[in-house]
Structure 1
Amino acid sequence: MAQQQSQSDRHLGQARRAFFEQGGAPVGKVPDTILRSWLRCQRSGLAAESAPHIEPVPAARLKEMRERHEKLWRLARAELELLSSDAAATGSIVILTDEDGWILDAEGSASFLDRAGRVALMPGACWNEAQVGTNAIGTAIVEGRSVVVHGGEHYLAPHGILSCSACPVFDPYGLQVGVLDISGDSTVRHMHALGLARLAVANIEHRYFDEGIPDAELLRLHRDPALLGTAREGLLAFRGGRLIAANQAGLQLFGLERSELGRAAYTALFEDALGKLRDDGVLLDRQGRALYGRVEDGQARPKRPAARPPITVSSAVAPPSADAPLFDALLEAELGRARRVLDAGLPVLVQGETGTGKEVFARELHRRCTRAGKPFVAVNCAALPEGLIEAELFGYEDGAFTGARKHGNPGLLRQADGGVLFLDEIGDMPLALQPRLLRVLQERELSPLGGGKPVKLDFALICATHRELEAALGEGRFRPDLYYRIAHHTVRMAPLRAHADRATLVRSLWQQLGQGRQLMPDAQAQLAAYDWPGNLRQLGACLRTLVALSEPSAVIGVELLPSYLHDVRPLAPTSSAVGKQTPAASLEAMAEAAMRQAVADCGGNVSQAARKLGISRSTLYRRLGQGAHGRHA
């Protein structure tokens, strides 16, 4: 692999010299997409050796851009969340831009970049090809299709440190509305990055149809009925017998291009009349293929919910199995204690790293408590736009502010009346709003914005955060009085690296997600050996990705695992035949090693390492002190 990369880098170096120094056109030496982009950049007068100056726009301008592209940002948030843990683990960053290359959102880790590079990949920066040369985002916009730009394929030499994979996002009518990009260190081969970007974009484009196509008949079709309802189903909307909207899967069913939207006729694509699909759930196309599905009228059917917003109101629901913690004896005991506290009218605080299953724990707690079946209102305090948190939480009267909904809004606290209010990521709640929340929790009464009669409230409170609130207290980022109001009973969700039997956990999740595929023992061992900084969410995302990238009945070995798992050493067997070290002792050693590595990664800053590990500073001092004592004894 290293030899192939070295040879590829040599060929690329030769191609750059031929183009930039000798004025030649290295046809066949670089992908045609890259060569076309180089020629465009050269004609525009860009200097290849110049240092790019990319500065994010001011916060007010970024806010305006996000509001203008609110639908794209909202429909893409679930995919950014899903990819962020995997990106952070591989030193990559997931980027969402608008149709002109302005970054609307970015998640993951840009630690491989210097400060200037990190600034260049922040929301508000622009990666249009005309401004910064050949790059995956800008070139995907120009080409209108997926693009990978690796290392020296970037036009500007300083961008050679990047490896970028971008896929454009199209709305149902064929208009390009944005780009999703995964960027990382060019010294690392990000084999699955483009596949992951395409999967994410397919999900985003699928969600664009959830609210229906007005005055049109929407066909949901696939040759395999098992794939109906997924992002792989073909979506085609007809108005007056003409195809006016479609997703990529729908276009591919018939070999159509987006330019044919508005022109292709229903009768040119299908043998059967539309009534056949309504009556029988199947119809034949002009090639004689049977396509399964259904028809939805734009006006007659109820609108499907859009992408999951930062606020959800529901009764108790089953936890998503892929991200759910295993409710073993320890967690069952925690649930029992937390239920008694909640039923006594006292709040519960759930703490743990991102991806450990805090919301799943909260939903299970709701399902078991005396308020089960009553509303469960989940609010992600980190995902709500800061300017809307107060209005959404506390409600407002008609005309309370510009843009306020007519007849006002009762607010989420009132929607939780009688049930459970779940404030996720409460550690990210703006400091200015904390006193108002504290007052509501103390008095169980709220006054909507813009006046109005105070309303009495009755709800149970569960809060969750990945932050160490004790540290936030000392830094003045969280009010002590609010902390002591919500932390009557604290539950700590352990990180996945502390799980005593990750191998069994991997097997259990694969049984739920594998859909008949076989996971080879060496691949299972590799998965079990990894520390999973994104915890169960990252592990679940990895397993779902393996399913998406493989065929049914596939046998999955280590070669199909993501690149960040290839250098992981499988855990040694813990049986007595191998040695006298017990599993518990091995786990202690792994935990101590993880702690020492975290301290090293944080440059010796114990407080920062403790926050990274999700434990208190005193615990970290104590555990490392015991480990040192054990070695010196």
Structure 2
Amino acid sequence: MTASLSQRQHVETILESLHRPGSQGDAAIIERSWRRCIDRYGLDPARPSPARYVPGATLREHQDQADDLLQVARAGVEQLYRQVAPLGYVVLLTDARGIAVQFLGAKADQREHQRTGLFLGADWSEAHAGTCAVGTCIQERTALTCHHSDHFSAHHIRLTCTAAPIFDPHGRLLAVLDISAYQSPATKDSQTFALQLVKYTAKMIEDAYFLQRYGDHPIVCLDRSREFVQINRRYLLALEEDGSLVAANTAGRKLLRHHELPLPEGGEARPFKAWNIQDLLDARVDEVMAIPRHSDDRVQAFHTRRHREIHFATLIEPPRRATGGATPSRDSSLAPLEALADDDPSMRDTLTRAARLRNEPINILVMGETGTGKERMARALHDSSRRRDQPFVAINCAAMPESLIESELFGHEAGSFTGARSQGMKGLIAQADGGTLFLDEIGDMPLQLQTRLLRVLAEQEVLPIGASRPIKVDLRVVAATHRDLRELIAAGRFREDLYYRLNGASLRLPPLRERADKGYLIRQIFAELNHERGGRARLRGDAISALLAYPWPGNIRELHNALRYALATGDGEEVVVGDLPEECLHGQLAHPGAGRPTTAVDDDARPPASAPRPLEQDLLYRALCRQQWNVSAVARELGLSRPTIYRRMKRLGIVPPNQQNPPTLS
């Protein structure tokens, strides 16, 4: 059957449905949408409906409004994509108006994605695209599959699309999660599993958003199973301290209505305030708040007040609530160490050990890959110790010229050698007297100096070059290395006795790619750099997503450099994904910063050369033509920085027409 014949039959089917009695179930949802397309929107199923994209500036506004959700949804969207990508699906996250604010799909198929509208910035509202999974999900507020001929437009009947709504904690539609594919079996039943998978992921995203939004409130989690209540957290209810309801997830709102506590869909927070947890559960507020201390598994069973159903409850307490009694006083001197990590297990173990060692009279060896923050650890040890008011002297043993390292470390007397200062010089070791000496990259120290350093550590005194009497020093040494010192010892390149003198205790720092608190580090370092610049920029969710996905071979040092670069090249108000260094975008799945389309391209905006161009070159050339070669306007349209546009023009061989003898693009 030819495509045109199948399209004609599709149009006839839609027109016939207008005169049939109402269908039931999923068919009724599709037919109601078809009627809206004709009666309300005036659409024609036979008329071509090319993909429509909102302009770049408008897309950024939609992304900004959805930023809180995008940051929470990232992990769920990426997990869903990993599950469905092998089957040929793409993943879209749209806002409540049907604009795709996040997209993941195979880069190899990017041209087809853009042509069809399965791409960032596409408008999938029912009023424009007709019956489709996203637009109809928005109208019907329910999960559904729009398979092949379910679509209103005859030009979409190749697609199979499955979408599920995501609601905010008060029942208002927040977003739609969609997976779509160009090829699939003919029967709609083939998408049953896809529907369940999308609904499950949408619920995870919705509940994660709920937990983040109300993390400063007690949250009651209910389930009909004791074993699963702490895993499923099916019903989520956020409370005030007096037990009054603040918000509920979708399942929680259904539970409240089932027990005759009506809450209108899409309502504001006010209807919740009319009810207390005591209206749902046959329990006092203090009993609910004491759930974590009631039993070993932190779960307690309650009857519901109206229907006497048993529900098992657990309570997520906000961080500010103490587990019992007064809040324990904190040692403020530990703040420099605590600032190095959030909730990464390896780092917390390391920092716990560091806190115990910070005032002990032993030397410490810090190990880890290049860029993992070994000097930051050394400074934090110093700043949290009783030596904090004394000098912290850092020496990079690998960066200091071998001809100068001895005099720099130990100092020298006046005229002790050719080129010596006339008044002599106090060495770095002596400068650290009373404080901390940090020896970075100790594995690169020359052997002859290792011998002298060993004597300093053993005797706690230093003999400047040319001096006859040693100088007493009181210092604590923190050494750092990315090398395996035991291998260097076996190779005869590092003294074993010096190793044991330095390694009174060891601290190992994990690489950034293995840390669970990357988001904390990104925000912390961004805030520090932003403060240094005196700026008030914000880091947008799409940039955070790219930073979290990057493997960081250069660790924290590379992260620091990437954020400094982004702040320098951004517009000063916000950092978006396009402001990041290009290497941070490698390996991203059709990342938003690459080739963002805006509107349909007119024929007169096509490049003059007839030979086909690479997609990235073609998209950038068209954007420049649309904006009359105004690079600032193109940067705003594509959500990139001006330096990035210039770099890509140079890399792709795109030359403005006002330059003489522009090279022909291939």
* TM value normalised by structure 1: 0.49
Structure of greater relative contact order (alpha carbons < 8 Å, 6+ residues apart): 2
Q: TM-score, normalised by structure 2?
A: 0.47
The structure number with the bigger radius of gyration is 2
